[in-house]
Structure 1
Amino acid sequence: MVTVLVLVVLAAAWFERRRSSRAFENPLIDAKFSRLTDFEGSELQAEISPDGKFVAFLSDRDGPFDVWLSQVGTGRFLNLTQGKQGELLELTRSTGFSGDGAEVWLRGGPVVSDAPIRLMPLMGGPPRPFLPRSSVAVSWSQDGSRIVYHTGKPPGDPIFVADRTGARATQIFIDPNAGGHCHFPVWSPDGNWIYFVRGINATGEMDIWRIAPSGGPPERLTNRNTSIAFLAPLDARRLLYVSPAEDGSGPWLYSLDLDSKTSRRISYGLEQYLSVAASADGRRLVATVANPSARLWSVPILDRPATESDVRPYALPNVRALAPRFGAGSLFYLSSLGAGDGLWRYRDGQTLEIWRGSEVPLLEPPALSSDGKRVAILLRREGKVRVYVMSDDGTGGTAIGDTLDAQGTACWSPDGKWIAIGGQDAKGPGLFKIPAGGGAAVRLTDKPAINPVWSPDGNLIIYTGAGVSRYQPLRAIRPDGSAVDIPGIQIRVQGQRYRFLPDGKGLVYMEGLLRRQDFALLDLATLKSRTLTHLDNPANMQTFDITPDGKQIVFDRLRENSDIVVIDLPK
Structure 2
Amino acid sequence: MWGKLGVTNHGSPQREAQKPSAFLSGPEPASNPVRFYEFDRFRIDTKRHLLMRDGGPIGIKAKALDTLVLLVQHAGRLLEKEELMNGLWPDTAVEEGNLTQNIFEVRKALGEAPGEQRFIATVARRGYRFVAEVRAIGDEPSARDEGSAGDGQSTLRLVAPERFARRTVIYAGVAAAIVLSLVGTRLYVAFGRSAPVISGTSSSPLRNLTRLTYGAGLQTDVSWSPDGKRVAYAWNRDGNFDIWVQDVDAGQPTRVTSSPADETQPAWSPDGQRLALRSEVDGGGLFAVDVKGGPLRRIAPDGRRPAWMPNGREVMFVDSDMPRAAFIVTADGGAAPRRILETELSRATYIAPAVHPEGRLSVFAPKLATGFFVADRTNRTLNAVDTSAAAPLGLLDPEAIQSISWNSAGTALIVEAHSDGVPTLWRVAVEPVSLRWRTPERLTTAPASAQAAAVSPDGTRVAFTSAPASTRAWLFPFDANRARLTGDGRALTDDELSIVSLRLAADGSALCYGALEPGRNNFRLFHIDLTSGRTTFLAESWGGAISRTARTIAYLLTRTGSSSTGETPSTGRESALAVRDLDGGERLVSRWRGGLLPWDWAPHDEAVLGSWVEQGQMNQNVLAIWPVGPMMATRPERVLLEASGVFFWQARYSPDDRWVSFVAQRMRNHGTVEIGIVAADSNRATTWTRILDDHVWPDKPRWSPDGRTLYFLSRGADGYVNLWGVPIDPARGAQRGKPFQVTHFNSPERRIDPNMGSAEIDVASGRLALPMQSVKGSIWLLSGVRP
TM-score (normalizing by structure 1): 0.69
Aligned CA distance change for structure 1 residues 42 and 518 (closer, same or farther; 3 Å): farther
Contact (CA 8 Å) 1:434, 1:441: kept in 2 or not? yes
Cα distance in 2, alignment partners of residues 427 and 373 from structure 1: 24
| Deviation string, structure 1 residues 178-210 (Cα, Å, up to 9, x no partner) | 6x124322215xx49754332369xxx995444
Q: What is the rounded CA distance, in whole Å, between the counterparts of 2:226 and 2:650 in structure 1?
A: 42
Q: Quote the residue 2:578 is aligned against.
A: 391
Contact 1:148 1:159 in 2 (8 A): yes
What is aligned with 1:19? 145
**2:218 and 2:495 mapped to 1: Cα distance?**
25
Matches within 5 A, 1:100-115: 100-109=271-280
Among 316, 321, 324, the alignment partner of 1:157 is: 324
The alpha carbon displacement at 1:137 in A equals 2.2
CA shift digits 1:464-511 (9 cap, x unpaired): 899xxxx9986544454665586x697685x84542246645434457
Distance 1:159 1:304 in 2: 36
SS of residue matched to 2:145 = helix
- Structure 2, gaps ≥5 residues long: 1-53, 56-138, 150-200, 391-395, 432-436, 529-533, 561-571, 580-585, 627-634, 667-671, 754-758
Q: Per-residue deviation at 1:60?
A: 2.3
Aligned to 2:269: 98
Inter-partner Cα distance in structure 1 for 2:746 and 2:601: 35
Query: Aligned AA for 1:242?
Result: E
Structure 2 matches for 1:140-539, cutoff 5 A?
A: 140=308, 148-152=316-320, 157-159=324-326, 170-171=340-341, 174-175=344-345, 177=347, 180-187=349-356, 191=358, 195-199=362-366, 208-214=372-378, 215-221=381-387, 222=390, 223-234=396-407, 237-245=411-419, 247-248=420-421, 250-258=422-430, 261-268=438-445, 270-302=447-479, 305-306=484-485, 310-315=488-493, 319-326=497-504, 331-337=512-518, 342-346=523-527, 349-351=535-537, 354-355=540-541, 366=543, 368=545, 370=547, 372-375=553-556, 390-391=577-578, 398=593, 411-412=599-600, 414=602, 416=607, 419=610, 433=623, 437=635, 442-443=641-642, 453-456=652-655, 457-461=657-661, 463=663, 476-478=677-679, 480=685, 484=689, 496-501=699-704, 504=707, 506-509=709-712, 514-515=719-720, 517=722, 522=727, 538-539=749-750
Deviations 1:80-115 (A, max 9, x none): 14224xx556xxxx3322233322112344797xx5
Task: State the match for 2:244 in structure 1.
Answer: 68
The alpha-carbon distance between structure 1 residues 492 and 196, as it changes in their structure 2 partners (threshold 3 A), is closer
Pair 1:570–1:525, CA change in 2 (3 A): closer
Query: Structure 1 pair 485/295, CA: closer, same or farther in 2 (3 Å)?
Result: closer
Q: 1:517 to 1:195 in 2, by over 3 A?
A: closer
Q: Secondary structure at the match of 1:217?
A: strand
SS in 1 for 2:324: coil
Distance 2:598 2:460 in 1: 46
Counterpart residue number, 1:569: 784
How far has the Cα of 1:369 moved from its partner? 7.5
Number of residue equivalences: 509
Secondary structure, aligned partner of 1:564:
strand
Q: Name the aligned partner's letter for residue 398 of structure 1.
A: R
Match of 2:294 in 1: 125
What residue number does 2:69 align with? none
Q: Would the alpha carbon gap of residues 521 and 212 (structure 1) be closer, same or farther in structure 2, given more than 3 Å must change?
A: closer
State the 1:19 CA deviation.
Answer: 1.8
Whole-Å separation in 1 of the counterparts to 2:204 and 2:405: 13
1:255 to partner: Cα distance: 2.4
CA distance change for structure 1 residues 519 and 266 in 2, over 3 Å: closer, same or farther? same
Q: CA separation of 1:547/1:515 partners in 2, compared to 1, >3 Å: closer, same or farther?
A: closer
Change (3 A) 1:310 1:524: farther
SS of equivalent to 1:433: strand
* Contact persistence 2:268–2:275 (CA under 8 A): yes
CA contact (8 A) 2:279 2:285 kept: yes
> Which of 304, 314, 321 is the equivalent residue of 1:136?
304
Same amino acid, percent of matched pairs? 14
**Retained in 2: the 8 A contact 1:183–1:196?**
yes
Letter in 1 for 2:752: M
Offset, 1:147: 5.9
Q: Which has the higher contact order (CA 8 A, sep 6+)?
A: 2
Q: Determine which structure has the larger strand proportion and give its number.
A: 1
Q: 1:28 to 1:485 in 2, by over 3 A?
A: same
8 Å CA contact 1:197, 1:229 repeated in 2: no
Does structure 1 conserve the Cα–Cα contact (< 8 Å) formed by 2:326 and 2:339?
no
Residues 460 and 225 of structure 1, relative CA distance in 2, 3 Å threshold: closer
Unaligned stretches of 5+ in structure 1? 1-8, 356-364, 380-384, 402-408
Using a 3 Å threshold, how does the CA distance of structure 1 residues 455 and 140 change in structure 2: closer, same or farther? same
State the structure with more CA Rg: 2
The Cα shift of 1:541 comes to: 0.6
SS in 2 for 1:231: strand
Q: Within 2, Cα distance between the matches of 1:449 and 1:157? A: 24
Contact kept in structure 2, 1:289 and 1:563, CA below 8 Å: yes
- Distance 1:476-1:60 versus aligned 2 partners, 3 A rule: farther
**Is this contact kept in 2: 1:301–1:552, CA < 8 A?**
yes
Task: Determine if contact 1:230/1:275 at 8 Å carries over to the other structure.
Answer: yes
